Amino acid sequence: MENNYKSGFIAIIGRPNVGKSTFMNKVIGQKIAIMSDKPQTTRNKIQGVLTQSDAQFIFIDTPGIHKPKHRLGDFMVKIAENTLNEVDAVLFMINAEEGYGRGDQFIMDRLERVKSPVFLVVNKIDLVHPDKLLPLIELYKEKYDFEEIIPISALQGNNVTHLLEVLKNHLPEGPQFYPADQVTDHPERFIISELIREKVLHSTREEVPHSIAVVIENIEKRESNAIFIQAVIVTERKSQKGILIGKQGSMLKNIGKEARKDIEALLGSKVYLELWVKVQKDWRNKQSQLFEYGFRQ
Ligand code: GDP
Ligand code: MG
Ligand code: K
């Protein structure tokens, strides 16, 4: 604790698509949380670590807190709620373009029980006129006693440095938990599966919903320093298997090609990626399989 070094854990919450992953990636400067224009693509928490000369921020990109629709949803909300009371600060992110909705109400109800300081981050200010921004901020101010309210554009980077300064002021004195060059403490396995999942969602558009999982079966470093990865895409329906494989395997081949590029950038070595598709009916409602597919806390 020399020189009043500060450190702390910061949870990022908010409805799907408000820009949580974009913010994380902006701050950390490396693609570790997946980004997508479809909701709920982050199912597990990813930590990003930002180390400065006088502070270390450990960000937790929580699974979105939203009304559970099935048992996987319950499980996610519970993880998120537990997390919120263990962190030093909570960033509640909203989309400046959208009004106050039921999803926000659901989150705010949960925030009532949270003891950690909560900051309202109004994201995507690049998309709105200031005339629209101020009434929205006033509305939120009336509903909850936020520690501070900070408008940003995660995509363009506007005001992101200011947000970090404000956060730093609220962080407790503490040690540097992670080495300065470490940006994430998640096993590469999880990040790789998220990168593959992102490519699946991008390539298949609306045809394949979020009910897919990617399981990394094997990662092996070979003598040539190349890395061999075998992964399975798990879908709920047979029809989706067909879409995922595509004509003569063209879809799967493309997903593999795109994912491989990102994984090579992540690992800094040549990667051979072997993908296949498996149908597993109703996997989301089978509690035991949550663990099998890596949702263990
Ligand atoms: P998450 O679900 O909260 O993690 O949201 P994402 O980070 O995946 O972002 C959802 C979408 O919003 C993506 O298409 C982003 O490019 C976009 N987005 C995020 N932040 C901003 C922003 O500040 N401005 C604009 N215009 N778009 C943004
Ligand atoms: Mg996300
Ligand atoms: K998303």
Q: What is the pLDDT of residues 220-270, one digit of tens each?
A: 887 777 889 999 998 888 888 999 999 999 999 999 999 999 998 888 889
Do 277 and 160 belong together in one domain?
Answer: no
Could you read off the pLDDT of 119-134 as tens digits, one per residue? 999 999 999 998 999 9
Output the residue whose Cα is nearest ligand 1's atom 25. Answer: 124
Do 11 and 151 belong together in one domain?
Answer: yes
Distance 7 CA to ligand 2 centre (A): 23
State whether the beta carbon of 36 lies less than 6 angstroms from ligand 1.
yes
Output the residue whose Cα is nearest ligand 1's atom 26. Answer: 124
Do 89 and 62 belong together in one domain?
Answer: yes
Output the residue whose Cα is nearest ligand 1's atom 19. Answer: 19
| Predicted interface score ipTM higher than 0.90 | yes
- Residue that finishes a domain, picked among 129, 144, 170: 170
174 DSSP β-pair partners: none
State whether the beta carbon of 62 lies less than 6 angstroms from ligand 1.
no
In a domain, 181, yes or no: no
pTM comes to: 0.69
Distance 155 CA to ligand 1 centre (A): 7
On whether 15 is known to bind a ligand per the annotation, the reply is yes
State whether the beta carbon of 22 lies less than 6 angstroms from ligand 1.
yes
Output the residue whose Cα is nearest ligand 1's atom 24. Answer: 124
Query: pLDDT: is 37 or 217 the higher one?
Result: 217
On whether 256 is known to bind a ligand per the annotation, the reply is no
Instruction: Give pLDDT, residue 37.
Output: 56
Kindly tell me if the per-residue pLDDT of 140 is higher than 90.
yes
Instruction: Give pLDDT, residue 208.
Output: 76
Instruction: Give pLDDT, residue 1.
Output: 43
List, as one string, the DSSP characters of the chain: -GGG-EEEEEEEE-STTSSHHHHHHHHH-S--S---SSS----S-EEEEEE-SSEEEEEEEPPP----SSHHHHHHHHHHHHHHHHSSEEEEEEETTS---HHHHHHHHHHTT--S-EEEEEE-GGGS-HHHHHHHHHHHHHH---SEEEE-BTTTTBTHHHHHHHHHHHSPB----S-TT----S-HHHHHHHHHHHHHHHHHGGGS-S--EEEEEEEEE-TTS-EEEEEEEEES-HHHHHHHH-GGGHHHHHHHHHHHHHHHHHHTS-EEEEEEEEE-TTGGG-HHHHHHTT---
Query: pLDDT: is 160 or 99 the higher one?
Result: 160
Site to probe by mutation for ligand 1, drawn from 15, 21, 22, 31 as the one with most ligand atoms within 8 Å of Cβ, is: 22
CA distance 6 to 10: 13
Do 138 and 280 belong together in one domain?
Answer: no
- Residue that finishes a domain, picked among 137, 170, 203: 170
Instruction: Taking residues 99-111, report their average pLDDT.
Output: 85
Instruction: Give pLDDT, residue 293.
Output: 47
CATH code for position 228 = 3.30.300.20
For residue 165, give its domain range: 2-170
On whether 63 is known to bind a ligand per the annotation, the reply is yes
What ligand has the least distance to the C-alpha of 43?
2
In a domain, 182, yes or no: no
Q: How many CA atoms lie within 13 A of 94 on its CB side?
A: 26
Distance 271 CA to ligand 1 centre (A): 29
- Residue that finishes a domain, picked among 170, 198, 219: 170
Instruction: Count how many domains the chain has.
Output: 2
Site to probe by mutation for ligand 1, drawn from 12, 13, 35, 104 as the one with most ligand atoms within 8 Å of Cβ, is: 35
% residues pLDDT > 70 (the chain): 77
Distance 24 CA to ligand 3 centre (A): 12
Cβ-count burial 8-37 (b if 16+ within 10 Å, e if not): bbbbbbbbbbbbbbbbbbbbbeebbbbbbe
Cβ pair 114, 85 in contact under 8 A = yes
Output the residue whose Cα is nearest ligand 1's atom 9. Answer: 19
Residues 10/16/17/22 CA torsion (nearest 10 deg): 20
Instruction: Give pLDDT, residue 80.
Output: 66
